[in-house]
Amino acid sequence: MGSWIKRLPDSELEIMMIIWEAGKPVSSAYIMEKLQGEKDWAPTTVLNFLARLVERGFLKVEKQGRINIYSAIVEEKDYIEAESKSFLERLHNSSLKSFVAALYDGGALSREDAEDLKRYIDELANKDKNSGGDR
């Protein structure tokens, strides 16, 4: 994963989510159809967002006849990993403990969620121990 991946504005991220969810190259008409009822963006607004995503290296565009077809260059998993790391660094000084404490103190994380998280961390620790890998 490249560390060049920059955070997207929410509107552009919404468009990327549609493309990632499609799992295949899509047209602007497909994207506008998916946005129907969610956003009342004009077609030119959507086209501007798509052009910006191409400029930023998130999408590539190919002509098929008179239609532009957009494909993701940046994978959803890579974006989420980069954004999660950036979020943790920016708001919690790279401290996962600080992040989890903020979620718990703010009521966004229940005791059951915390126990699930502990089990997950234990599983990761055991997997690393058994594979001999350092993370």
The residue ranges of every structural domain in the chain are: 10-72, 76-131
Mean pLDDT of 16-21: 97
In CATH terms, are 10-72 and 76-131 the same topology? no
Query: 76-131 sits in which CATH class?
Result: mainly alpha
Percent of the chain with pLDDT over 70: 93
d(CA 73, CA 58) in angstroms, rounded, equals 5
- Say if residue 66's pLDDT is above 90: yes
**126 to 36, 81, 92, 122: CA distances (angstroms):** 46, 22, 26, 6
From CA 123, how far away is CA 119, in angstroms rounded? Answer: 6
Distance, CA of 28 to CA of 134 (rounded, Å): 44
- Look at residues 112, 125, 32, 122 and name the one whose alpha carbon lies nearest to residue 70: 32
Contact in structure between 61 and 69 (CB atoms under 8 Å): yes
Distance CA 33, CA 45 (A): 14
CATH of 10-72, one of 3.50.50.60, 1.10.10.10, 1.20.58.60, 3.30.70.100: 1.10.10.10
pLDDT recorded at residue 135: 47
* Minimum mean pLDDT range among 42-46, 70-74, 89-93, 123-127: 89-93
Q: pLDDT value at position 85?
A: 79
| 83-92: average pLDDT | 75
pLDDT at 1 over 50: no
Cβ neighbors of 60 (< 8 A, separation 6 or more) are 54, 70, 71, 73
